[in-house]
């Protein structure tokens, strides 16, 4: 490092190991000379003698140029050094642009593109899962023996208690709230009508789906995410086993069977909860309540409720699997994937329920 006629000459390697020593020399000697000699400034930094440079060397050049003002220029770089500086500048510009707060239109465009890609990939996964689930009925290759039965126990049988308890409470609440209004008009008997329609068409399938999304949807996402983070999915592919066949298909088939059964259980328990309130607080008889329930219900109502529960089951499995397969990072990534799966599942279930309501009405 030397100074001659307002030009600072840098030579050798400007890398992490040598930059601290060069900067110390600059601050102790050259900077002191330039400070005491009025009018002496660094107008150019000649790096013709520099053979190699990294980000630390570029930081040294920027520091010297910034201290002497904006008129300081860098000249004499060899093609290799110039290419390295251009690459380092590009990386710095990318980092700076990532820290810059995007405008509203930029955020909206980025969100739209992300939503498009997410929906496209989710639909591809959905098609593949449907295809492999149907094909697995005729071929057992790549499937774990007894996996469907095991998942039926986990998703279905183990959820009977929580689904039944919450359905009973929902039946109580609906009966109490509706009775408070119907009692004013002497129409206590129509509590049975309200409970029958609401539990069969809406509350039974919807509450069951929300419970299963929080309980089983999160488990599906976390299991697949953990397998990806720990490279178990790559190990399955190395052995010639498709992870969708081995992991997703048994859960999809088990959920397809378990969700309508759980929704049916929820409907029955909810109606029983309404019956308890009707018998104890509304002075209705068992015969009057059951007659009104079977009189108001139609086969189409039951088909609507069970078809909803079937679609809800598919939504929960697909979203949970998608979140698991697209996890990034370690334990924190698994947590994020699980949270995203639950939130997205519940949101999508409610949106699908609205679509069903408009379609059937």
Rounded to an integer, what distance in angstroms lies between the CA atom of residue 293 and that of residue 319?
36
pLDDT above 90 coverage of the chain, percent: 28
Q: Is residue 168 over pLDDT 90?
A: yes
Q: Which pLDDT belongs to residue 39?
A: 44
Q: Which pLDDT belongs to residue 85?
A: 72
Closest among 135, 144, 179 to 278, alpha carbons compared: 179
Rounded to an integer, what distance in angstroms lies between the CA atom of residue 251 and that of residue 314?
10
Cα 192 from chain centre: 41
Q: DSSP secondary-structure letter at 75?
A: E
Tens digits of residue pLDDT in 182-227: 777 777 788 888 888 889 988 999 999 999 999 999 999 999 999 9
Q: Which pLDDT belongs to residue 48?
A: 78
Closest among 282, 136, 173, 150 to 223, alpha carbons compared: 150
Question: Coil, strand, or helix at residue 49?
Answer: strand
Tens digits of residue pLDDT in 175-186: 888 887 777 777
Range name among 33-47, 106-120, 176-190 with the lowest pLDDT average: 33-47
100 band by pLDDT with thresholds 50, 70 and 90:
low
Q: DSSP secondary-structure letter at 271?
A: H
Residue 20: count of CB within 10 angstroms of its CB: 11
Residue 285 Cα distances to 60, 249, 268, 316, angstroms: 90, 47, 18, 40
**Between 238 and 102, where is the model more confident?**
238
Which residue has tokens 């789906």?
A: 209
317 band by pLDDT with thresholds 50, 70 and 90:
very high
Residue 276 Cα distances to 22, 159, 173, 185, 268, angstroms: 87, 23, 11, 21, 13
- Domains of the chain, by residue range, sit at 2-99, 121-360
Q: Is residue 87 over pLDDT 90?
A: no
Q: Which pLDDT belongs to residue 260?
A: 93
Closest among 333, 338, 334, 306 to 319, alpha carbons compared: 338
Rounded to an integer, what distance in angstroms lies between the CA atom of residue 195 and that of residue 201?
10
User: 2-99 — its CATH code?
Assistant: 3.30.750.24
Do 357 and 257 touch, CB atoms closer than 8 A? Answer: no
Q: Which pLDDT belongs to residue 261?
A: 94
């Amino acid at each position: 490092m030397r100074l001659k006629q307002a030009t600072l000459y840098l030579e050798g390697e400007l890398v992490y190991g040598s930059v601290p020593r060069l900067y110390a020399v600059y601050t102790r000697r050259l900077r002191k000379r330039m400070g005491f000699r009025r009018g002496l400034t660094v107008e150019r930094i000649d790096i013709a003698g520099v053979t190699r440079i990294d980000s630390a060397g570029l930081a040294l050049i920027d520091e010297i140029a910034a201290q002497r003002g904006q008129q300081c220029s860098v000249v004499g770089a060899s093609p290799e050094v110039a290419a390295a500086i251009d690459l380092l500048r590009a990386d710095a510009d990318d980092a700076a642009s990532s820290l810059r707060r995007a405008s509203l239109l930029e955020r909206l465009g980025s969100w739209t593109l992300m939503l498009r890609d997410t929906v496209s990939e989710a639909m591809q996964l959905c098609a593949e899962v449907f295809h492999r689930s149907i094909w697995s009925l005729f071929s057992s290759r790549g499937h774990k023996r007894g996996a469907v039965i095991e998942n039926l126990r986990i998703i279905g049988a183990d959820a009977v208690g929580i689904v039944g308890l919450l359905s009973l409470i929902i039946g109580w609440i609906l009966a109490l709230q509706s009775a408070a209004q119907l009692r004013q008009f002497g129409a206590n008997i129509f509590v049975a009508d309200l409970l029958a329609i609401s539990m069969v068409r809406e509350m039974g399938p919807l509450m069951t789906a929300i419970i299963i999304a929080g309980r089983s949807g999160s488990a599906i996402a976390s299991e697949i995410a953990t397998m990806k983070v720990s490279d178990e999915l790559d190990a399955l592919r190395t052995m010639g086993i498709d992870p969708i066949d081995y992991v997703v298909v048994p859960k999809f088939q088990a959920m397809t069977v378990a969700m309508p059964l759980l929704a049916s259980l929820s409907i029955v328990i909810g109606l029983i909860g309404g019956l308890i309130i009707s018998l104890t607080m509304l002075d209705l008889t068992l015969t009057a309540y059951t007659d009104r329930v079977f009189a108001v219900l139609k086969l189409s109502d039951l088909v609507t409720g069970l078809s909803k529960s079937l679609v809800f089951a598919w939504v929960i499995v697909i979203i949970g699997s998608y979140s698991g397969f697209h996890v990034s990072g370690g334990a924190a990534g698994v947590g994020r994937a699980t949270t995203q799966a639950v939130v997205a599942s519940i949101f999508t279930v409610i949106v699908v329920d609205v679509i069903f309501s408009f379609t059937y009405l």
